[in-house]
Structure 1
Amino acid sequence: MTETTVPAALRPWSVGWPEYTPKDITPAELRPSALASQVPDWAEAAPTPAHVTDWAQRQAAALVPFEVDVWGWPLHPQGRTGRTGRNLGRWGENAAADPIVVAGTGEHRQVLLITRDDIGVEAIPGGMVDPGETAPAALVRELREETGVDLADHQPVILGRDIVDDWRQSDHAWVASTSALYLLPATVPAVAADDALDANWWPFGSLDELDAAVTFAGRTLYAAHRPLLQRALDQLADRD
């Protein structure tokens, strides 16, 4: 059978599961026949992980350590996902940067979110780190591209480097993000661009307050970013 939900006991790669048949989520443009004729500018050309030749370097540079199996395929650090194939630019880890911009203090605190154009939810204005780019540079670039806000002169607080529960992840391709907190005394103008349909400031006294405001507006908060936003709130609580 094809599994899309994996029981917690069967997620670890060390646990045998001969019947495991994950769902292939590879879109048409990333299938071998399509890559043979045209490679999207956001993706690597390797049709399978076996065609990747620098796994040792990728493992050494990874934000989150991962293993490669005996066939040369990278294994998701958190175990089986119920999905196989690739719906991301690279096999293995895809490095991302998520700038969390917070303005004001106390009950007047607000956070800057965008409406993503791919899944239509309210999310942190982040994205993938470009080849050869550093995470700090990507944080600034993604924020500027998606909201017009330029914080190149600001020093953020790095919150963590973690796996993100991205909707495109699979057993062999996933997202690991550097999340960072930027603090401003007050809100600044933000205009949606690039991959954003909209950009707005939202109340950010707590995750519940944010969720309620987003829901009241008829929108949905991106579930994968909830842990990152909560980490920012925890950091702010330590400063209060």
Structure 2
Amino acid sequence: MTEFTEIVPADRRDWSAPWPQYTPLDVTPEELLPEALGREVPFWAEGAATPDAVPDWAQRQAAALVPYQLDARGWPLHPAGRTGRTGRNLGKWGENAAADPIVIAGTGTDRRILLITRSDIGVEAIPGGMVDPGETAPAALVRELREETGVDLSDHRPVILGTALVDDWRQSDHAWVASTSALYVLPATVTATAADDALDATWYPADSMAALESAIAAAGRALYAAHRPLITRALAHLDQQ
């Protein structure tokens, strides 16, 4: 679940709560402003400058990982409520589907988890990313892992842990991220080499969440807060085995 407590009061978060003075911050980057989109659409984004230019909301809602509604204007509303932000800093309006492969090797105190250092915000994170148009989540899990770490687990069958909203730093009231997370379990660590959007790829101790966060802090880094719930769920699944 997303956390907007520092931006939006809890009693105003729900879309049904009246808030006529609500003035969210526009987080649209320059390359996604209407004038810029009229000249050139980035390869990772759709060309609709506003949600009313999107023609297939019914299909998008039907395929959504997390259900959402449209407002009176036909604009998509973040399923978790107001975010304090408007505009778009993601590829698509509405839900942006992602895939997050959680790779854990070993058992007990020897258990390790594979994380990358994200190039955009410089924190340790799961080596995942957006599902490409026409791509399935299972295919995206394998592709993102291979692209960012060089690890190919196409012959492994993961445990699908579920789908959930991700508290992504780019989200807004009208564009957000929902992820399919999957757990890959290996007997031992394998060679991982950072590439694509990753600055580094590291195997961290993961016998517990506390041990993981301590190891990341000792390395002078920080864990991507949005991925903490996904990793916690993966470790809990293993602890129940």
Give the equivalent residue in structure 1 for 2:215.
213
Secondary structure at the counterpart of residue 39 of structure 2: coil
Which residues of 2 match residues 113-192 of structure 1 at below 5 A? 113-192=115-194
Amino acid at match of 1:33: E
Secondary structure at the counterpart of residue 117 of structure 2: strand
Q: Which runs of 4+ in 1 moved over 6 A?
A: none
Give the equivalent residue in structure 2 for 1:72.
74
Q: Given that residues 121 and 221 in structure 1 are in contact (C-alpha distance below 8 angstroms), is that contact kept between their aligned partners in structure 2?
A: yes
CA distance in 1, matches of 2:6, 2:20: 16
Task: Give the count of matched residue pairs.
Answer: 237
Give the equivalent residue in structure 1 for 2:58.
56
Secondary structure at the counterpart of residue 146 of structure 1: helix
Amino acid at match of 1:156: P
**TM-score, normalised relative to structure 1:** 0.98
CA distance in 1, matches of 2:55, 2:16: 25
1:194 aligns with 2:196: yes
CA distance in 1, matches of 2:183, 2:225: 18
Q: Which of 101, 109, 112 does residue 110 from structure 1 map onto?
A: 112
CA positional deviation for 1:103: 0.1
CA distance in 2, matches of 1:119, 1:226: 16
CA distance in 2, matches of 1:53, 1:200: 42
CA positional deviation for 1:160: 1.1
* % identical equivalent positions: 73
Q: Which of 46, 57, 80 does residue 44 from structure 1 map onto?
A: 46
CA distance in 2, matches of 1:165, 1:179: 14
1:223 aligns with 2:211: no
